[in-house]
């Protein structure tokens, strides 16, 4: 299986603690790195996770609260010091470029590479990134300001050709693409060789959904249905449910309910309130609802 | 002795490493905290050093390179989340407020406390802070942009009264202040009691000097003469002397030469280039010139 894994750089919430950095993650898809959120210290954690700056070309910002984007300026400046030339693409709700551009220019007198902002509306899901093997779609969330999560989905891949069968039927190379895409083969004699004798299915496409910060939403259940891994914020334990609602956050058991209803493979919870010195109670509350739950943790790497 | 100590929050230079945070320190003078520089992650390291945000009212920024000030926005926002009401004073070379103010306002819709910028010219030493027991004076440095170090100096304190002698001579309370300030006492009978029989000297005032980033300067030697503790940047080892000069930095042995010529009590070197995975060679080079040298290190606390 080709690489598809998630690195947690920070999983605390807005107030700093001695245990957590603010929000930031990196999705590694076949050695292309995609950063999600960029809280203060993200570049330090990036190095600590032994990731390569040269592999990072795309950063996705969920919303314009400081704990999700204050690390951008340092990261952008570091890439400049390193003499980067490739464009860096930043995807975010509207407003970020207007805030950041003057500081990027002030603190980097000579930029060695372009920083390109791509701003999106947060009201409905939209496809904001696509390459040969991956799409990234926004997941509308409900927080105290325009906020989106992100759905990373591998594209389905063509079937694998079974080389021995191609040789056996002496199938010409010109036919191979059609066969990979699922068609049967008709021999010169008119015999139909069904596709499933010529190919074996490729690995099923995998997907990862990131949802932070937000109230628990039924629309999220629909949009993340069946993903292999769901990261959902669980800022609070059940005891703080009123506080969660008031601040537009989610409790651990609410996050687990979403995971269960959406039938995801695995749930990872994070964005922990600074009040918890130990998140075990959050894990227990979530597992009571959805057993396949993990606690996020700095430098944790989860294969998808 | 009353508290006067230095906490290292970060002692790396501009490029992040897995070992160092960018520049930030806290001077604790009798439980008032003074931050010097505020690189990315300073607020995280502040918490890790178990310091109290409520004790921090003054931040001194040496120059407007990102690795010395990118932590301000996160720190200011955190203090706002904590509902701070006391003013926060930021002292820096000219230009910082114009850059920071729009972002402080954008990312903190409702500020609970005032942030007051005090900008200074860097051409000559100037007194930028004074209270009952302390002065802070700028130390002009020479870097690629206007830059100053900072000299923290305790004020001399009045002598301690020897209670038994006061009782013995039945000296009235109204005379005590004069005696603390060094005057002799004349008895009603006209006898002169010399001050040194009535008092013992208070502890000599202590001082700390911070010099980063800079070329080595003779004027620094003059200004930091005799300080108890000198922090001087030592970005490079001797082998990189040409690179140090080119980038307006100092080598470890140059820093030690300044310490020796200025006759300081102790030298602390930091602002290490990312190229060193182990700074022992820098320490050895400095100690060959000035034996009382220490390596800075995150969360190190040095009494002054």
pLDDT tens for each residue of A32-52: 999 999 999 999 999 999 999
pLDDT of residue B221: 98
The CA distance from B292 to A256, in Å, is 57
* Class of domain A4-157+203-301 as given by CATH: alpha beta
B47 touching A, CB under 8 A? yes
Q: How does pLDDT run across A107-116, given as a tens digit for each residue?
A: 998 999 999 9
pLDDT of residue B185: 94
Helix or strand (DSSP H, E) at B124: none
CB contact under 8 A, A99 and B106: yes
- Between chain A and chain B, how many beta carbons pairs sit less than 8 Å apart? 86
B113 touching A, CB under 8 A? no
A49 touching B, CB under 8 A? no
- Give A202 to chain B, closest Cα distance, Å: 39
The CA distance from A143 to B30, in Å, is 43
Supply the mean pLDDT for chain A: 96
- Please report, in angstroms and rounded to a whole number, the separation of the first and last CA atoms in chain A: 10
Asked whether A255 and A266 are in contact (CB, 8 A), the reply is: no
pLDDT of residue B284: 98
- Which pLDDT band, with edges at 50, 70 and 90, does A246 fall under? very high
Residue B70 with chain A: CB contacts under 8 Å: 73-74, 77, 107
- Which pLDDT band, with edges at 50, 70 and 90, does A181 fall under? confident
The CA distance from B44 to A15, in Å, is 9
Mean pLDDT of A23-28: 98
The CA distance from A171 to B272, in Å, is 64
The CA distance from A114 to A116, in Å, is 6
What are the phi and psi torsion angles at A104 (to 5°)? -55, -45
pLDDT of residue B244: 97
CATH of B4-157+203-303, one of 3.40.50.2300, 3.60.15.10, 3.90.190.10, 3.40.50.720: 3.60.15.10
Active centre residues of A (catalytic): 67
What are the phi and psi torsion angles at A233 (to 5°)? -60, 145
Structural tokens at position B184: 């002799």
Residue B21 with chain A: CB contacts under 8 Å: 44
Query: Which residue of chain B comes nearest to A12, CA vs CA?
Result: B44
pLDDT of residue B131: 97
Residue A78 with chain B: CB contacts under 8 Å: 14-16
With tokens 């004020």, the residue in question is: B155
Mean pLDDT of A97-118: 96
Residue A277 with chain B: CB contacts under 8 Å: none
CB contact under 8 A, A78 and B41: no
Sorted by sequence, the CB contacts under 8 Å of residue A190 that are 6+ apart come out as: none
The closest CB to that of B43, out of A16, A47, A107, belongs to A16
Least confident of A179-188, A256-265, B208-217: A179-188
Mean pLDDT of A246-265: 98
Q: What is the dihedral of CA A162, A167, A168, A170, to 10 degrees?
A: 120
Task: Look at residues B187, B191, B184 and name the one whose alpha carbon lies nearest to residue B172.
Answer: B187
Task: Look at residues B242, B258, B245, B234 and name the one whose alpha carbon lies nearest to residue B12.
Answer: B234
pLDDT of A5 over the 80 cut: yes
Structural tokens at position B186: 């004349």
Task: Look at residues B144, B139, B122 and name the one whose alpha carbon lies nearest to residue B224.
Answer: B139
pLDDT of residue B181: 87
Residue B61, CA distances (Å) to B34, B152, B187, B248 in order: 11, 14, 53, 18
Interface with A, mutate which of B38, B51, B66, B101 (most A CBs under 10 A): B66
State the complex-level ipTM.
0.92
pLDDT of residue B257: 98
Which own/partner contact pairs does B233-238 have at CB distance under 8 Å and 24+ positions apart? Answer: B233/B269, B233/B270, B233/B271, B234/B269, B234/B270, B234/B271, B234/B272, B234/B282, B234/B286, B235/B13, B235/B271, B235/B272, B235/B273, B236/B273, B236/B282, B237/B276, B237/B281, B237/B282, B237/B285, B238/B285
pLDDT of A147 over the 80 cut: yes
pLDDT of residue A157: 87
Domain boundaries, chain B: 4-157+203-303, 160-200
Asked whether B282 and B237 are in contact (CB, 8 A), the reply is: yes
Sorted by sequence, the CB contacts under 8 Å of residue B221 that are 6+ apart come out as: B258, B261, B262
- In this prediction, the residues of chain B whose per-residue pLDDT falls under 50 are none
pLDDT of residue A1: 77
- Give B139 to chain A, closest Cα distance, Å: 23
Residue B106 with chain A: CB contacts under 8 Å: 64, 99
């Amino acid at each position: 299986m080709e690489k598809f894994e998630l690195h947690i750089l920070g999983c605390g919430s807005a107030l700093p603690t001695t245990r957590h950095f603010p929000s930031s993650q990196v999705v590694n898809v076949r050695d292309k790195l995609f950063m999600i959120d960029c809280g203060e210290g993200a570049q330090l954690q990036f190095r600590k996770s032994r990731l390569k700056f040269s592999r990072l070309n795309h950063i996705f910002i969920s919303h314009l609260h400081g704990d999700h984007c204050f690390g951008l300026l340092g990261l952008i400046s570091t890439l400049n010091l390193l003499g980067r030339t490739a464009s860096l693409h930043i995807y975010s709700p509207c407003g970020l470029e207007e805030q950041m551009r003057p500081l990027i220019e002030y603190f980097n007198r000579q930029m060695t590479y372009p920083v390109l902002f791509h701003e999106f509306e947060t009201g409905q899901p939209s496809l904001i990134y696509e390459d040969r093997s991956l799409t990234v779609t926004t997941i509308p969330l409900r927080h105290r300001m325009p906020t989106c999560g992100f759905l990373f989905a591998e594209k389905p891949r063509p079937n694998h050709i079974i080389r021995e069968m191609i040789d056996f039927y002496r199938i010409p190379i010109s036919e191979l693409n059609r066969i990979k895409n699922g068609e049967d083969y008709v021999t010169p004699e008119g015999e139909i060789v069904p596709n499933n004798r010529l190919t074996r299915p490729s690995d099923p496409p995998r997907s990862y959904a990131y949802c932070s910060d937000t109230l628990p939403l039924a629309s999220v259940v629909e949009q993340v249905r069946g993903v292999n891994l769901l990261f959902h914020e669980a800022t609070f334990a059940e005891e703080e449910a009123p506080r969660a609602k008031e601040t537009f956050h989610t409790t651990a058991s609410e996050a687990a309910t979403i995971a269960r209803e959406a039938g995801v493979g695995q749930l990872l919870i994070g964005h922990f309130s600074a009040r918890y010195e130990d998140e075990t109670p959050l894990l227990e509350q979530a597992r009571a609802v959805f057993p396949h739950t993990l606690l996020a943790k700095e430098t944790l790497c989860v294969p998808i």
